[in-house]
Amino acid sequence: VPLADGTMVPTPEVPSPDRIASLLALSDVMGPGWFAADAANVKPGSTVVVVGDGAVGLLGVLSAKQKGAARIISMSRNESRQKLAREFGATNIVSERGDKGVAHIQELTRGVGADSVLECVGTQESMMQAILCTRRGGYVGYVGVPHGVSLDGEGLFYAHVHLHGGPAPVRRFLPQLIDLVWSNKINPGKVFDLTLPLERAADAYRAMDERRAIKVLLQP
């Protein structure tokens, strides 16, 4: 499995064609999704909210399920992504954003908030939504690269949440993730919903930017 730094991590043997997509996901979006769940301290039986329905957010849902979360709430407005989120383990879908989204989460959690929130977008709105959806003493794992995010120190102080994130330490998780794919316990390759030839890479990025595709698999 190739990593972003160019190094390789070997698989147990030559993978079968049906495992290729999932192994490619491990070299890209699965690591951040798993790290978001790890940073958010997802535990068996916990209630989890996932902010963001891109490939990383959807694999955050899969990761939370694998870690034993009892309730996983995916925040998504897109019908096809909602469907995949449910397939990966989401128990609830919340389509509202901002204050309305937070209010819906509070309603679903009886005013308590979620034990763990995975922030997989990186905007000001998504970060505040994540923090405000978290119960006191809960955890936010953020892997969306922050752009334009500014946090109020006093507000964060009184929110009383744990906040941890950053670039995913993929190599630390890769042996476990390869084993999960090899044993057919997870299939993260389902995020690839469009396949194009390598020479159409620009079209692939355009499709993802316009949200016509979750993740594009390029073939030589």
Q: What tens digit of pLDDT does each residue of 33-77 get?
A: 999 999 999 999 999 999 999 999 999 999 999 999 999 999 999
**Angle made by CA atoms 171, 5, 130, in degrees to the nearest 5:** 60
- What is the pLDDT at residue 133? 97
- What is the pLDDT at residue 7? 58
The pTM assigned to this predicted structure is 0.93
Pairing of strands 92-94, 114-119: unpaired
Reported as a single tens digit per residue, the pLDDT across 141-159 is 999 999 999 999 998 899 9
Question: Distance between CA atoms of 45 and 109, rounded to whole angstroms?
Answer: 14
Which residue in 43, 45, 48 sits closest to 134, CA to CA? 48
State both tokens at 95. Answer: 């389509």
Residue 153 CB burial class (10 angstroms; 0-12, 13-18, ≥19): exposed
- State the number of CA atoms in the 13 A half-sphere of 82 facing the CB: 10
